[in-house]
Amino acid sequence: MIDSPLRIADHGPIRTITVARPEKLNALNLATLDALQDAFIAAGADDAVRAIVLTGSGPKAFVAGADIAEMNALTPVQGRDFSLRGQRMMRAVETLPKPVIAMINGFALGGGLELAMCCHLRIAADTAKVGQPEINLGLIPGFGGSQRLLRLAGRAATLELCLLGAPIDATRAQQLGIVNRVVPAAELEAETMKLAGQLAAAAPLALRGILDCVNYGGECAIEEGLAFESTQFGLMFATDDMREGTAAFLSRRTPAFVGR
C-alpha cells in the first residue's frame, strides 16, 4: 500500500489538508497533485465541511515547488500534460463552493505559491517566503502562476517576481496583495483556525454566492458581473439562512445558519 502524500483531519466543520512530504519540502509530484484534487472534491461534496485549511508539514515549507527530480525526465508533451494536470487541480480549488485558506508556514515557491494563490484567502507566518523562481531552472510558471499573480498583484509585481526569480518575504507579499494577513509564526495555526472558524459559522449558501460572484466577475465585463450578482442576490431570498440571518439581526441574537 502506498502512503498518502496528504494528511487530512476534521476539526468540527473545518477540514485541514496537509501536504505531507517534508523530506521533499512538500514538493508537488503527480501523485500529490492527484491526491489534492481528490481531497478537495471530497471536501466540496461533504456537507459537514464548511471551511478548509491547506498547509504543508514540517517547519520549513508550505510547498517549496514542483518536484524537480520528476520534472527533469519529462518530454515536452509530458511537460505540457504535467502543467495541465496542476492547472486542473488548482482550478478545482479556486472554484470550490466553500472557502479555502492557505496557511503558509514556510517556503511557498513556484508551484507552492501557485497552490496558495488558487486558495481564496492566504495567511502567512512572518518567517515565510514566497516567489516564482522558475526562471532559475530555465522554466516559466506552469500551474497558473503568471495568470493568478497578475490578477492578485498586477503587472509590475508579476514581472518582477517571474523575471528575477527572487523570493520575497511575507510582509512584502502582503504589501503586493499576494497574502491577506501576516502573523507571528508561533501564532499562525491559532490565527488560521480562528479565521476558518469564522468562515465555518457564516451562511454557507451566501459564502458560495460570494465565491461564485468573484470568480465570474473577475473574468467578465462589469455589466455581466453586476447582472450575475443581482441574480445571486435574489436567490438568497429563497434560503432559510437569509430568513434566519435577518431575523437574528432584528432580534439582536447570533444567527444559526444551516446551509438551506
pLDDT score recorded for residue 3: 80
Pairing of β 61-63 and β 14-19: unpaired
Known active-site residue 223? no
* Look-up of cell digits 517576481: 161
Question: Is residue 47 a contact partner of residue 260, using CB atoms and an 8 Å limit?
Answer: no
Catalytic residue among 70, 94, 134, 229: 134
pLDDT score recorded for residue 259: 85
Query: What mean pLDDT, rounded, does the chain reach?
Result: 94
pTM exceeds 0.85, yes or no: yes
Sign of CA dihedral 23, 141, 180, 203: negative
* Look-up of cell digits 478545482: 92
Work out the pLDDT band at 218, boundaries 50, 70, 90: confident
Known active-site residue 189? no
The Cα–Cα gap between 139 and 55 comes to: 25
128 sits in which H/E element: none
Catalytic residue among 23, 94, 114, 219: 114
Which residues are 107's β-sheet partners?
61, 129
pLDDT score recorded for residue 2: 59
**Which candidate, 109, 101, 107, 115, places its Cα nearest to that of 144?**
115
State what percent of residues in the chain have pLDDT above 70: 99
Question: Is residue 132 a contact partner of residue 116, using CB atoms and an 8 Å limit?
Answer: no
Alpha helix segments (H runs only) across the chain = 30-45, 68-71, 76-94, 111-117, 145-153, 155-164, 170-175, 188-201, 204-217, 222-236, 240-251
pLDDT exceeds 70 at position 1: no
pLDDT score recorded for residue 219: 87
Q: Domains of the chain by range and CATH? A: 6-200 (3.90.226.10), 203-251 (1.10.12.10)
User: What average pLDDT score do residues 231-253 get?
Assistant: 92
User: What average pLDDT score do residues 191-197 get?
Assistant: 98
Name, in order, each residue with C-beta under 8 angstroms of 147's C-beta and a sequence gap of 6 or more. Answer: none
Question: Is residue 258 a contact partner of residue 241, using CB atoms and an 8 Å limit?
Answer: yes
Q: pLDDT for 49-104, tens place per residue?
A: 999 999 999 989 999 998 888 888 899 999 999 999 999 999 999 999 999 999 99
Question: Is residue 156 a contact partner of residue 82, using CB atoms and an 8 Å limit?
Answer: no
